[in-house]
Amino acid sequence: MKCRSLKIAFCFLLGLMPGIMAACGPSAREALHPSAGKLFRQRWWNHYVRALEAAERQVYDAALTDLELAVQQREHDQRMARTYGMHFIDYFPHRELGIIYWLRGNLACAREELESSIRQYPTAKALFYLDEVRKALLHQKGVRGGPPQLYLLLPETPFWTRDDPVCIGGRAVDPNYVSALSVDGAPVHMPGSQQEVTFEHCLALPQGAHRVDVKAANLLGLSTQRPVDVHVDRQGPFIVVERISDRGAEIVIDGTIFDDAGVTRFEVNQTPLPVISADQSSFSFRMSRRQPALRIEAEDRLGNVTTAHAEPADWLSALQRPMIVAVLKTTGLFERRDASAPVIRIEEWTETQTVYMDRVVVSGSVRDDRQVADLTINGTAVLPRPGAMAFFSHFIALQPGSNTITVRAVDAAGNPAQQQFCIERKLPAAMLFSERLRLTLMPFADNDATPSSDAAFQDNFVHQMVQRRRFQIVEREHLDLILQEHKINRTHLIDPATALQIGRLSAAHVFAAGSLVKTRMGIEAISRIVDTETGEVLETTDAYAEDNGLSGLKALAETLALKIHREFPLANGTVLQKQGGMIATDLGPDEIRAQRRLIVYREIPVHFPGSGRRAGSDFEVLGHARVVQCQERVSKAELQDDCSPDIGVMHKVITQ
C-alpha cells in the first residue's frame, strides 16, 4: 500500500512533466529519454520500448518515468500485446519496474511489482527476480532460519515396491521459501520459490535395491537431504527343492522358498501350506507316486507370483540312480562321474513369440539327477541355493524389436544346459514414433545478433528436443531443401508468416519459433509452438538465465526444451460419448488443452497361444481428432476427415 501511495504521488508529478520538458528544452529531454530522437507518439508501447532502452543504459529515473506512463495507458503485463495493425510486442511493465526497484534497493516496491506481474502473466524472468528480492529481504531482516523440512509420503521404511515407474512424493516446507527440490539428482519442476511445495517424482528403477536422495534447499542456501532406501521387486518367489525322499508309496519333497520381500502364500494343488513371512521359508509335503501333475504357486507380500507345473516323471527321475561312467584317471584309479546335464523347462514361451509389452516374466524350472549348482538368465545369476529342482519367475525388460533370452544351468559336476528363445516386442501402432506430432524448429530471432551465442543456443536446443523423442523433428537438411526450392533465405524464417509457410511445406503439424532477448543482466528465451493448420499459438514457454556464456546458453536451451515437453505430455484416455462428428473423452485440463490433437484407436488384446494369458495389446488407429473444449474432467474433440465410422464409446485416445 505504501508503494502504491508513492506511485500516485509520482504519477501526479508525471502529469506536470510536459510543461517541465518544454521549460527544460531539448537537451534536458534527451538526457531523460535516451531515444528522444526516434519517432515517438506518446503511446504505451513507445514509453515501454524507450524505458527498456533507458534501463539497459542504467538511466533508471527515465526508465521509471516511461514505465509508469505506459502502465497508465495499459495496466496488465502480457505476451503478444497488440500495438497497432498486426504488430505485437511482449509487454511487461510491472516486471521491469520490479527489477529496477530491486536494483535501486527499494525491495518492498520491487516485490509488489514482481508479484503483480506474476499474477497477470507469470514469466521465468519475473520469478527469477522475485526470488532475488525475497533473498535480499531475508538478509536485510537478518533472518537466521534452519533448512527446509521434508515430509515424505512412504508406506514404510525401507520402501518396498513392485511399481513401474516408482513414484516418490511428499512435501517440502520452509518459511524462508523452498527454492530447489530434487529427487535422485533430477530437479523437480517448481514455478519459483514457495513456502510449501507438494511434489511427486517418478523414477524408472530396475529390479534390486536403490538409494534415492531427496533434497530441498531454501533461499538462504540451507538444504535438507533425506535418503530413501527403495527395494524394487517385480519377481515372484524362487522355489528350490533340496531333497526328494522315497517313502514307499509316497514321495516326500522338502525345500525352501526365497523372496527378499517376504513369502506370504504357498499352495500345492490349491492346498495352502504353512509359510513364515520372511525372505526364506521352508516347506515339506508328501505326494503319491500315482499323483497327477502338481501345480505349485508361491506369492510374496508385494503380489508377485511364481506358478510352476511339475509332472510325476520330474519327481521320480530324481529318485533313480544317476548314470555312472567309469573314467580312468592318470593315477590309475577309477572315479564315478555324472554325465547328464540339467533339464530346463520354460513355461509358455515358444521359440519365437511376439508381444506388445515393454516387460515380461519368464517362468520355468530346472532339475538335475544330482544337484543344480548354478542358474543364469541373460547372464544374471538367479539361483539362491543349489538343489535337485528349482522353479523360477524372472522379470525382464524388453527393447523394441528382437530380444534373445538365454537360460543356462550347470550341475554340480559342471555339466551345462542351455535354452534360448526370442521375444519380438512390437510397438502398438498408436504408440509408434511416426504417429507423434511432426515439429519444425525455426531459428530464434535475436535482439543482439551475436552469431556465436545464437549457434550455441540453437544447436543445444535442437539436441535437447531430438533427445527427448516427444516430437518428430524435421531434419535440418530437409528444411534446407525446402528453403532452396522456394528460394527463401534462412534469415527470413524469423518472420511469422514465412515460418508458417515453411511449417506447412515441411508437412509439419506444428513449428517452434521464438526469440532470444539479451540484456546486460541476462538472457531470456521465448518459444511459441504454432499449429500449421490453424496458425494458432498452442503454447508459449520461456526460460531465463543470468549467464550469457556457453554454459548458461546450454542450460537455457535444456530448460526451455524441458518446459515444452512438459506442456505436451503423452496422455491416454477413453471415449465416453460420440455424437455426430464429436466425441467426449475423460481427459481433463490437467492432461489436454484446446486445439491439441488426439489419436483415436481400438485396443486389440493379444494372448499366448498355449495358455491364453495376455501378451499385451495391439492398437488399430481409427483416426484423429482435435480438442475444441476442456471442462473439469471431460474434453470434447472434433473428429477429422480420416476417421473411421466405427469410432464409438470405450475406444481409446492418446495425445498425438
C-alpha–C-alpha distance, residues 117 and 491, integer Å: 33
Residues 160 and 170: their CA atoms lie apart, in Å, by: 17
Q: What is the mean pLDDT of residues 28-56?
A: 74
Instruction: Please give the CATH topology (third level) of the domain spanning 149-232.
Output: Immunoglobulin-like (2.60.40)
Residue intervals in the chain for CATH 2.40.10.410? 572-655
CA–CA separation, 326 and 3 (whole Å): 102
In this prediction, residue 490 carries a pLDDT of 60
Tell the burial category of 557 from Cβ atoms under 10 Å away from its Cβ (0-12, 13-18, 19+): buried
Average pLDDT over residues 45-73: 96
Q: What is the CATH architecture assignment of 572-655?
A: Beta Barrel (2.40)
In the chain, ranges of CATH 2.60.40.10 domains: 149-232, 238-426
Of 216-230, 316-330, 496-510, 577-591, the one with minimum mean pLDDT is 316-330
Report whether pLDDT(22) > 60: no
User: Tens digits of per-residue pLDDT, 404-453?
Assistant: 999 999 999 999 999 999 999 988 877 788 888 999 888 888 877 566 66
* DSSP assignments along 95-128, one per residue: HHHHHHHHHTT-HHHHHHHHHHHHHHS--HHHHH
Report the CATH superfamily, name and number, of domain 238-426.
Answer: Immunoglobulins (2.60.40.10)
| 36 pLDDT above the threshold of 80 | no
CATH number given to 2-140:
1.25.40.10
Domain with CATH 3.40.50.10610 in the chain: 433-567
- Residue intervals in the chain for CATH 1.25.40.10: 2-140
Residue type, position 469, single letter:
R
Pairing of strands 445-446, 510-518: parallel
Number of H helices, E strands in the chain: 13, 37
CATH topology for 433-567 is: Rossmann fold (3.40.50)
Q: What is the largest CA-CA distance in the chain?
A: 125
Q: How confident is the model at residue 455 (pLDDT cuts 50, 70, 90)?
A: confident
- Give the mean model confidence (pLDDT) for residues 361-378: 92
| Residue 517 · residue 545 · CB < 8 Å | no
